[in-house]
Amino acid sequence: MTGPISGPDELSKREQKALESLLFRLADDEFVLAERYTEWQIYAPTLESDLALANIAQDEFGHARLWYDLLGELGYTEPDLIWERPPEQWQHSTLVELSFPDGGWADTIVRGYLYDTAEQLRLEALADSSYLPLADRIEKVLLEERYHRQHAGNWLERLASGEGHDRVVAAVERLFPHAMSLFAPGPHEDNITEFGFRSESLQELRRAWLDTVIPTLDSLSVPAPEPAEVVRPDATGRDGSHTDDWFELYDAFTHTYTELENPTPVRLRGEGA
């Protein structure tokens, strides 16, 4: 474990590589999930849930911006990070990129629940990160994530205890294998814990996640898959392999940027002054 690192200048090459890999996952997960949440605008089943999802999407974009900002301090620009990064270099989990063509409100709720539970554990394991600019942001994000978990948890219970029960069961069956990819280790995993960027390994986080998620699903009479028997999807997302859904989404959100031929936004009056 290295001592506290207060900024980019103090990072060795190896440390920077490991840190970048951690940050890309964090940022990409949040950004892509936010894109999927925004698709629910006007489609959510109640006005309240429409507003809630809009708000959650805004939070997740905000969190993505926090993590992309840290990558920015390491030398990346916004076009490098988002608008011009080839889709096969994105490292988010396949869980967050899936589209739900047949409506899929239960899918959205189940995904939110599975993701937000993992997110809390991951953030808690970053709260004492040796990279101080990262550690400094965690408390704020955890405070905001609390509402996301409440929202997902409340809806999960409502759906699973009513006529939506079968849909929840089907969504869990479909999404659980993709959720496991949240914990798929990358080439820098050992360094990430060794350098103290994250206090727990992905394996430990996965165990803690299963210990939360499975009893909850059990309590709602939703069968949880046996983790060891889950057939993993071919694509995990973490290594740049993705489902077709991702490439369609990527084309959609980069469409305007591409159409305008890589625009430079008009500056505010004080910028660059």
- Locate 235 and state its tokens: 């694509």
Least Å distance, CB 129 to another protein, is 12
- What's the sign of the alpha-carbon dihedral 215, 219, 220, 223? positive
For residue 113, the cross-strand partners are: none
Residue partners of 51: CB distance under 8 A and separation at least 6 = none
Least Cβ distance, residue 103 to another protein (angstroms): 26
Q: Are 32 and 97 in contact (CB under 8 A)?
A: yes
Amino acid at position 122, single letter: R
Interactions with another protein, residue window 5-24 (CB under 8 A): 6
Which one, 137 or 178, has the nearer CB to another protein?
137
Give the residue with the Cβ less far from another protein, 136 or 251: 136
On whether the CB atoms of residues 105 and 160 are closer than 8 A, the answer is no
Which range binds another protein by CB under 8 A, 3-11, 83-91, 178-186, 209-217? Answer: 3-11
Comparison of 133 and 225: residue with beta carbon closer to another protein: 133
What residues from 106 to 165 belong to the interface with another protein (CB under 8 A)? 136-137, 139-141, 143-144
List phi, psi (to 5°) of 131.
-90, 100
Q: In angstroms, rounded to a whole number, what is the distance separating the alpha carbons of residues 209 and 114?
A: 9
Binding mask 48-87 for another protein (x = CB under 8 A): ----------xxxxxx-xx---------------------
Q: What residues line the site for another protein (CB under 8 A)?
A: 3-4, 6, 58-63, 65-66, 136-137, 139-141, 143-144, 268-271, 273
